[in-house]
Chains A and B, each alone.
Chain A
Amino acid sequence: MTLDKDDSEAARPAAPIEFRLDAASGVPTYLQLVHQVEHALRLGYLKPGDQLPKVRDVVASLAINPNTVLKAYRELETKGLTAGRPGQGTFIEATLSQVALPELSALRRSLSGWLSTADEAGLDENGIVALFTSALRDFYERRRGSRTGGGAASGRTEGVA
Chain B
Amino acid sequence: MNVVEASGLGKQYGSTWALRDCSLAIPAGHVTALVGPNGAGKTTLLQLVVGLAAPSAGGVAVLGGRWPGSPAALDGIAFVAQETPLYKNLSAADMLHLTRNLNRRFDQASAEARLAELGIPLQRKAGRLSGGQQAQLALTLALARRPRLLVLDEPVAMLDPIARHDFMATVLTAAVDDGVSVLLSSHVLVELERVADYLIVLSRGRLQMAGELDDLLASHRVLTGPAAEAGRYAERPVVHVRRAAAQAHLLVRATVDDPVPPGWEAHPVGLEELALAYLREPGAAALPGPARSRQAEPSEVTR
Contacts and interface: CB of A to CB of B under 8 A. Distances in A.
A and B touch in the complex (CB under 8 A): yes
A2 B219 contact: no
Contact of B177 (A1, A141, A152, A157): A1
B265 to A, nearest CB: 7
Interface in A63-114: 63-68
Interface in A98-154: 134, 137-138, 141-142, 145, 150-154
Contacts, number: 116
A137 B270 CA distance: 14
Contacts of A159: 237, 253, 286, 293, 295
Given A55-B176, A65-B194, A156-B215, A145 B256 contact: yes
Nearest to A146: B257
Given A56-B173, A141-B268, A157 B117 contact: no
Interface stretch (A8-16, A21-29, A45-53): A21-29
B212 interface: yes
A33 B196 CA distance: 17
A2 B116 CA distance: 11
B219 A160 contact: no
Interface size class on chain B is 35 or more
Contacts of B124: none
A156 B257 contact: no
A64 B268 CA distance: 20
A29 B172 CA distance: 15
Contacts of B19: none
Which of B191, B255, B256, B268 has most A Cβ within 10 Å?
Answer: B256
A140 to B, nearest CB: 10
A121 to B, nearest CB: 15
Given A1-B107, A1-B177, A59-B173, A156 B117 contact: no
A65 to B, nearest CB: 5
A43 interface: no
Chain B CB within 10 Å, residue with most, of A3, A4, A134: A3
Interface of A: 1-4, 21, 23, 26, 29, 55-56, 59-68, 134, 137-138, 141-142, 145, 150-154, 156-160
16 contacts: A2-B117, A26-B270, A55-B176, A63-B168, A64-B172, A65-B195, A66-B175, A67-B197, A141-B268, A142-B257, A145-B257, A156-B288, A157-B219, A157-B293, A159-B293, A160-B295
